[in-house]
Structure 1
Amino acid sequence: MTDFAPLQALGPIAPARVPGNTPWTPHLDHYLAHYQLAPLLTDHVGLHVGYLDARGFRLWTQVWSPTTPRGTAFVVHGYFDHLGLYRHLLDRLLSEGWRVVLWDLPGHGLSSGERATIDDFDDYGECLVALQSQLDDQGLIPKPWVGIGQSTGAAILATDALRNGQTSEWHGLALLAPLVRPLGWPQSSWLHRLASPFITTLPRKYRPNSSDSDFTAFLREADPLQADYLTLTWVSAMRRWMPQLIALPESELPVLILQGEQDLTVDWAWNLEVMTRKFPCAQVHRHPEARHHLVNEAEPIRQILFNELSRFLDQLVPNDIERPGT
């Protein structure tokens, strides 16, 4: 099995393409190749890579940039995910002129922290704020800022925007299959209450969360950064977070919600009701065949969803770059 642990010895985030620069190692070459990110690193795209310290965690962070960025897109992944799985979205955003910040959540990918868990969902939000502050100090994240989150990542971004209200620095958010509660929560919440005093983890069940069979096979068979268990500490943190989100005041922020109607991971119909109350200006696009992992759906579905995302971002920040086929 591929081992990317040597990358955890890298230092603070720094330019990766400068000759002789410390971050550039054979291990980084292998990592970029394994997750098919290497082809995106062209003569017209720069990369900063390394770690940022935030709230007691070391966060594996990458900043990808075209020559003249139109703004910065922060991509926040979902539970069990890591940034290496987001090449399709990264490719689209780079092609449209966005500087892109990706980072592994605590307990995920190459970031520090107990695997697949968090004590409090606020830790995620505080890590995001600390990451933005440090990157801003380095002049790496030109405005406007947009946030794009998948599932738990969407929950993190939505919470941040709602808590900050009119002082939020977000220009807009795209929430992909946003988490508020998982599918079957009314029943499973009782099981969680009964089981949590006695057990700490449950074996992960790999259900197809995308109609792209190659992607789902890769998760099961070829991704060494996947956790094989669900932690009840994470479920407890989610349980405490849900009523906090629901109690927050609504926001007029421009928001796009993309949702698959074959999603068997989150309680999507209930979640959409909550999110559209919180963001009354939200545009909602539902796809009848899409499942949960929208950034890695089968190509025909993914292109429809990404085209909706592109239109939304163009409404926020007009794009002078002509896309192929337009």
Structure 2
Amino acid sequence: MLFSFDIYHKIELSCDFLDTNDALLDTNMARKTVLPKVFIVLSFMLGITCAGSCVMMGTNNHKSHPLHDRFSRLQHDLPPLDFTQPPLITPAMQSYHAFYHLDFPEVEHRWGSFQSGEYTLAAHIFTPQEPKGTVFLLHGYLDHTGILYRVIQNCLKQQFVVAIYDLPGHGLSSGERADISDFSAYVSVFHDFLGLCRPHVPTPYHVLSHSTGSAIVFEYLAATPEPFFDKIIFLAPLVHHVHWRTSKIAFTLCKLVQIDALPRRYSQKDLDPALIDFIKTDPLQTDRVPMTWVEALYKWNKKIQKTEEMTLSALIIQGKEDDVVDWEYNMPFLQKKFPQASIKVIDEAGHYLINESSEIQAEIFQTVNAYLKDRSQEEFP
């Protein structure tokens, strides 16, 4: 396809969601600097291997997995989440438990669905013996409850109830796969889930979130005059993703040529290879990133720039080798919004943190567990 300079004028006119500093200045600048970046980043977003990037396109077989049909039926057959009746266990649920390592011994696993707006969400409540509080857990984009079994297990070992649900369009929840038109829909679901659970789970309440889950918690906290969380933990929080400015130009170009979704890319740099293989065959995964989700992210980001400072303490854990979020932008931004937050940067860690090497997992869980035990913030530089 040939691209005339008229396209650059169209990009300039259509980039109304860009910050002033991101706008294209003139045709010569576009010809000299933007064209190469557009194609490099567009290739990166499309999952094509580029110099200096460690990405790959997998041959994924989610729908051909023998459990795909069973889990699809389970999505539609989940009963409403009921705190008054004994947990219901069906053969399909047992298969789900076993496949995602969620069959924890001596733990009550209550799960079902709840309604929030147009969505039917799959929710799980894990209750250990003699619980001493509740951790509300939010997963990241393209993940679901089953991928977070390690952090669920860690919280249960610390005697916390774990309350978690699959985001709209993820896992066993309804909605267009991996899509959302506005991040406020994510926040509304979180608000409804909290209202459903709070009468039935023990205090104190804590929240632990990863990546996009942290974006949801951020907006919820900003919009809630008196949030009731005792401890707030962000893991690799999303504010900007990598290649932020140039990718917004690439996004506009995708819209101009009517690309409505991008293939998912898998990083081999930080994830355990066995977990990559598992994710690529996981029947609840998706292989595409809708452009409407990307646009919703840009709109959300523009919105939160106006967020006022929050007088809340929080723990932020970030990997220095993260190739998904732009942590060098995100950390100063979050420090400004949460001046009382403690930030821990782990040199060898990437984006996925709790699903990386056993050494990184141990360091993260040690830090999280100490923070949840009411120790002084000074212990978390």
Deviation at 1:185, TM superposition (A): 0.8
Cα distance 1:210–1:140, how it changes in 2: closer, same or farther (>3 A)?
farther
State the secondary structure of the residue aligned to 1:306. Answer: helix
Q: 1:115 aligns to what?
A: 177
Structure showing greater Rg: 2
Q: Which amino acid aligns with 1:306?
A: F
Cα distance 1:261–1:110, how it changes in 2: closer, same or farther (>3 A)?
same
Cα distance 1:316–1:152, how it changes in 2: closer, same or farther (>3 A)?
farther
Tell me, yes or no, if the aligned pair for 1:125 and 1:160 is still in contact at 8 Å. yes
- In structure 1, distance between residues paired with 2:261 and 2:81: 33
Q: 1:24 aligns to what?
A: 89
- In structure 1, distance between residues paired with 2:234 and 2:73: 33
- In structure 2, distance between residues paired with 1:289 and 1:56: 41
Deviation at 1:256, TM superposition (A): 0.5
Q: Which amino acid aligns with 1:140?
A: H
State the secondary structure of the residue aligned to 1:14. Answer: coil
State the secondary structure of the residue aligned to 2:97. Answer: helix
- In structure 1, distance between residues paired with 2:255 and 2:120: 28
State the secondary structure of the residue aligned to 2:120. Answer: strand
Cα distance 1:36–1:17, how it changes in 2: closer, same or farther (>3 A)?
farther
Deviation at 1:209, TM superposition (A): 6.0
Tell me, yes or no, if the aligned pair for 2:83 and 2:200 is still in contact at 8 Å. no
- In structure 1, distance between residues paired with 2:94 and 2:82: 15
Residue among 280, 287, 295 paired with 1:236:
295
Q: 2:25 aligns to what?
A: none
Q: 1:7 aligns to what?
A: 74
Residue among 106, 127, 138 paired with 1:76:
138
Cα distance 1:212–1:202, how it changes in 2: closer, same or farther (>3 A)?
same
TM-superposition CA deviations, 1:116-163 (whole Å, max 9, x none): 110100000000001111223xx3222221111100001111111122
TM-superposition CA deviations, 1:228-287 (whole Å, max 9, x none): 011110001000000222211111212000101110001011011111111111111111
Tell me, yes or no, if the aligned pair for 1:71 and 1:98 is still in contact at 8 Å. yes
Matches within 5 A, 1:285-296: 285-296=344-355
Residue among 183, 188, 211 paired with 1:126:
188
Cα distance 1:208–1:253, how it changes in 2: closer, same or farther (>3 A)?
same
Q: 2:115 aligns to what?
A: 53
The answer to whether 1:62 aligns with 2:121 is: no
- In structure 2, distance between residues paired with 1:135 and 1:305: 27
TM-superposition CA deviations, 1:32-68 (whole Å, max 9, x none): 1111111x1x23x211101010121011100001122
Q: Which amino acid aligns with 1:233?
A: T
Q: 1:321 aligns to what?
A: none
Matches within 5 A, 1:165-180: 165=225, 167-180=226-239
Q: Which amino acid aligns with 2:151?
A: L
Matches within 5 A, 1:234-313: 234-313=293-372
Q: Which amino acid aligns with 1:160?
A: Y
The answer to whether 1:183 aligns with 2:242 is: yes
Tell me, yes or no, if the aligned pair for 1:172 and 1:316 is still in contact at 8 Å. no
- In structure 2, distance between residues paired with 1:210 and 1:5: 30
Tell me the TM-score normalized by structure 2. 0.78
Q: 1:227 aligns to what?
A: 286
Cα distance 1:15–1:24, how it changes in 2: closer, same or farther (>3 A)?
farther
TM-superposition CA deviations, 1:65-121 (whole Å, max 9, x none): 112221111100000000111111011101111110011000000000000110100
Q: 1:214 aligns to what?
A: 274
Tell me, yes or no, if the aligned pair for 1:171 and 1:253 is still in contact at 8 Å. no
TM-align CA RMSD: 1.7
Range with bigger deviation, 148-157 or 242-251: 242-251
Tell me, yes or no, if the aligned pair for 1:209 and 1:216 is still in contact at 8 Å. no
Deviation at 1:15, TM superposition (A): 6.3
Cα distance 1:209–1:141, how it changes in 2: closer, same or farther (>3 A)?
farther
Tell me, yes or no, if the aligned pair for 1:107 and 1:114 is still in contact at 8 Å. yes
The answer to whether 1:93 aligns with 2:155 is: yes
State the secondary structure of the residue aligned to 2:170. Answer: coil
- In structure 2, distance between residues paired with 1:177 and 1:53: 29
Cα distance 1:30–1:242, how it changes in 2: closer, same or farther (>3 A)?
same
Tell me, yes or no, if the aligned pair for 1:211 and 1:290 is still in contact at 8 Å. no
Runs (4 or more) in structure 1 with deviation over 6 Å come to none
- In structure 2, distance between residues paired with 1:150 and 1:110: 19
Matches within 5 A, 1:138-149: 139-149=199-209
Q: Which amino acid aligns with 1:250?
A: E
Tell me, yes or no, if the aligned pair for 1:154 and 1:175 is still in contact at 8 Å. yes
State the secondary structure of the residue aligned to 2:285. Answer: coil
Long gaps (5+) in structure 1: 318-326
Q: 1:323 aligns to what?
A: none
